[in-house]
Structure 1
């Protein structure tokens, strides 16, 4: 278990002890195989010495040099290709199903057993879902409301799981995310699809989707009351400034608090006919600001921490067009990691004019 100078380190050596930065963050984990690019990273973080096991066989070191994502590091998110992902197959099925459900809900009915079965099949593939970089195979902007429903279901499930709620609530939270905007089927389409500034009367009509949704779901048997309340309460705020009932804190069902975070995230990161998608990282920052007094702060913090937890190695494009790779995340600035762009390490926490525009698949 030799302790060597970073100047002596060579690609192929195996780190025997976590490499900790001067600020206390974990730069590399025990067991990682050093790659050629890691030398520069170690120097950038003022790391002087390493504990290593020794050199791998030369063939292993060469192979390690070829791919940072195959050995010794946490896998980059989004490693399952869209053409091969069973998640995308189930997503497409659910998308078609929710389209039919919106039509049937307008006529006064929902195929609840079919919806439950479809949700279970979708969630069975949740291991391949990552909130920040999942992209449907086909996005047609006019189908925004349906994509929003399915993605909110996936994300609500993850949030319920991450927050440590009982397992029996995870699927119900997904169901709540799927159906939270079902009341839109009764909103005047001219108001719903208006890209301009709404009048006071139009805003009131738009806000009625919460009560419309509760009324629709109240008449459907075999639905958890928390799912109904999520439709009614997902625009309530913990400080009492939301709608329709101006509820506060513990008066709001926790499914609604979960769905509120998923709803805002996907509303801002999905492309619409009249609104461009925003950077998921900037959206996380906005949600964090909203978390003070509006959204449940514990849910918000868990959501941000978990979505950015394993993104080292992820390929990204910055807002100035530069393409690079996330190399390190300071947990005090999870949305602003360090990015290696053509050998130049950029700390987005200090270079505030730059941010991650998108994840490159």
Structure 2
């Protein structure tokens, strides 16, 4: 039967493993003929397995093979959630639209709005969905995932700050369309897997200009949101682009998109970088990028990500599972946690080499 190697970043639930997988272990961590589910994906990533041999769909062995060893080990795959269904539909639509924009088509803001509203309604009601956005993304289609995620995260931030639903909707649309100008960048440059030349980097930096040109005549989008798209790569310290503006000349809404953009980018797997923990990323935005972003916007994101009820089950960076026992108001991303394995209480604000890598699903 025919099989092919597939990178973990591209592997999806339902695929069937074509060989036993070992990771410096005596026994396999995944047996041949196992149907992959979400938990298997996490295990493979935990053991730094980069790719696995997968049966091609037309060559998946039938469950009635000769003996038990050859039968497919079918671990149930969780039913797709309404959010994920809307999300995947949005990504597929946006991927097609980028091709149309590249050919010169205009943005159909009504269709964009219709794709975003169902997602937005779910996210505004349950913010925890932002923790899953980076797991949906993949390096190949990162741009389309990033557009939708940036829009959703932007809307949650302004909601947290206290803005009304109308502003949250406008913010979602602006965040989603902030990188639409990438359609005007040569695919050779946009999809390049190696380091960009200086000239190519300068071309990439033009995308906010192209994005603004594409949205400036949209009557359904407010002027402030159009400006936010143009300025979303500006930084308060003047280190951004396209104009290198600073402080008062950097609009608030552009800072919302900027923070959402950086947060999703750093928590997602890219062609040149592995994804990082949301908790680690917001610490980096606050500490290492200090002075570049509006502190009010950064604090809103911190409050969203670090809103962990007592008893929340988490996984730490050393793969230990733990329970949140107490939230430190001065270091909300670093609570006191109790290890399930030993019962030890650890103050993550003190033990800096550890951090929360992800929230574990409820039992």
CA distance in 1, matches of 2:137, 2:156: 22
- Partner SS for 1:141: coil
Q: 2:306 matched to which residue of 1?
A: 308
Residues 130 and 153, structure 2, Cα contact 8 Å, conserved in 1: no
Q: How big is the shift at 1:215?
A: 1.4
Separation in 1, partners of 2:235, 2:173: 21
Distance 1:349 1:284 in 2: 14
Q: 1:117 aligns with which of 110, 114, 117?
A: 114
Deviation at 1:275, TM superposition (A): 1.8
* 1:4-26 CA distance string (max 9 Å, x none): xxxxxxxxxxxxxxxxxxxxxxx
- State the alpha-carbon separation in 2 of the partners of residues 215 and 284 from structure 1: 31
CA 1:200–1:84: 2 relative to 1, 3 Å = closer
Alignment correspondent of 1:351: 351
Change (3 A) 1:243 1:82: farther
- Taking structure 1 as reference, are residues 329 and 82 closer, same or farther at Cα in structure 2, changes over 3 Å only? farther
**Which residue, out of 321, 326, 329, partners 1:328?**
326
Which moves more between the two structures, 349-358 or 256-265? 349-358
Unaligned runs of 5+ in 1: 1-80
Measure the CA separation in 2 of the matches of 1:271 and 1:82.
23
Task: Answer yes or no: is the 8 Å Cα contact 2:337–2:345 preserved in 1.
Answer: yes
Q: Distance in 2 between matches of 1:125 and 1:273?
A: 30
Q: Structure 2 CA distance, aligned partners of 1:238 and 1:136?
A: 26
- Among residues 257, 260, 264, which one is paired with 1:259 in the alignment? 257
Q: Map of 1:26-41 to 2, 5 A cutoff?
A: none
Aligned to 1:96: 92
- Distance in structure 2 (CA, Å) of the matches to 1:326 and 1:338: 6
Residues in 1 aligned to 2:204 and 2:173: alpha-carbon distance in whole angstroms: 22
Tell me the TM-score normalized by structure 2: 0.72
Deviations 1:67-103 (A, max 9, x none): xxxxxxxxxxxxxx97363222221222222212212
C-alpha contact (below 8 Å) 1:153/1:175 kept by paired residues: yes
The match for 2:224 is 226
Between the aligned partners of 2:110 and 2:122, the Cα distance in structure 1 is 19
SS at match of 2:237: coil
Q: Deviations over 1:144-167 (max 9, x none)?
A: 111111111111111011112243
Structure 2 Cα separation of the partners of residues 252 and 135 of structure 1? 27
Residue number in structure 1 paired with 2:199 = 201
| CA distance in 1: counterparts of 2:315 and 2:164, whole angstroms | 37
**What is the CA–CA distance in structure 1 between the aligned matches of 2:288 and 2:164, rounded to whole Å?**
26
Q: Is the 8 A contact 1:156 1:262 kept in 2?
A: yes
User: 2:337 matched to 1:339?
Assistant: yes
Q: Can you list the C-alpha shifts for 1:221-240, whole angstroms capped at 9, x where unaligned?
A: 43322332222111101122
Q: RMSD of aligned C-alpha atoms? A: 2.2
Describe the superposition over 1:290-331 as per-residue Cα deviations: whole angstroms up to 9, x where unpaired.
563210111111210232123433322222221222222101
Q: Give runs of aligned pairs for residues 159-178 of structure 1, distance below 5 A.
A: 159-178=157-176
Q: What residue in structure 1 maps to residue 187 of structure 2?
A: 189
- Give 1:358 deviation, angstroms: 2.4
- Give the number of equivalent residue pairs: 281
> What is the TM-score normalised by the length of structure 1?
0.72
After superposition, what is the alpha-carbon deviation per residue over 1:269-291, rounded to whole angstroms, capped at 9, x for unaligned? Answer: 11123321111111010111256
> By how many angstroms is 1:132 displaced?
5.2
Structure 2: any 5+ residue segments left out of the alignment?
1-76
SS in 2 for 1:349: coil
The separation in 2 between residues aligned to 1:119 and 1:132, in whole angstroms, is 14
Identify the range of structure 1 (268-277 vs 219-228) with the bigger mean alpha-carbon deviation. 219-228
Distance 1:137 1:350, change over 3 A: closer
Higher Cα Rg, which structure:
1
**Structure 1 stretch displaced more, 338-347 or 164-173:** 164-173
